[in-house]
């Protein structure tokens, strides 16, 4: 089944992008360092308020996204994730 599926898309393969294999394998310590570093950055973004942000008492269109990302209204994380 998979070989027939891949055979159908074989002519289009030259138009797709390919990610090269890494030249070296990262150690577990390096992976752990980057994971916790990004986690700390994310948690910091959740606590840095935006300057000049006015708290309004209207409907919140990003309520569901904020619940999923564990974000607060008017923080740097909200600015980053709503613009990307």
- Does residue 6 belong to any structural domain of this protein? no
- Does residue 19 belong to any structural domain of this protein? no
pLDDT tens-digit profile, the chain (84 residues):
567 888 888 888 888 888 888 899 999 999 999 999 999 988 888 778 777 766 666 676 667 766 776 666 777 776 766 655
Full-model pTM: 0.53
- Does residue 80 belong to any structural domain of this protein? yes
DSSP 46: H
Sign of dihedral through CA atoms 73, 75, 78, 79?
A: positive
Q: What total of structural domains would you count in the chain?
A: 1
Instruction: Identify the domain containing residue 33 by its residue range.
Output: 27-51+60-84
Q: Alpha helices, DSSP H only, in the chain?
A: 2-9, 28-47, 63-69, 76-82
């Amino acid at each position: 089944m998979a070989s027939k599926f891949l055979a159908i898309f074989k002519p289009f393969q030259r138009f797709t992008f390919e990610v090269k294999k890494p030249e070296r394998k990262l150690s577990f310590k390096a992976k752990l360092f980057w994971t916790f570093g990004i986690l700390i950055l994310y948690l910091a973004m959740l606590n840095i308020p935006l300057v000049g942000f006015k708290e309004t008492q209207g409907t919140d269109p990003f309520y569901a996204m904020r619940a999923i990302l564990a974000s607060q209204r008017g923080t740097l994380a909200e600015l980053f994730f709503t613009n990307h």
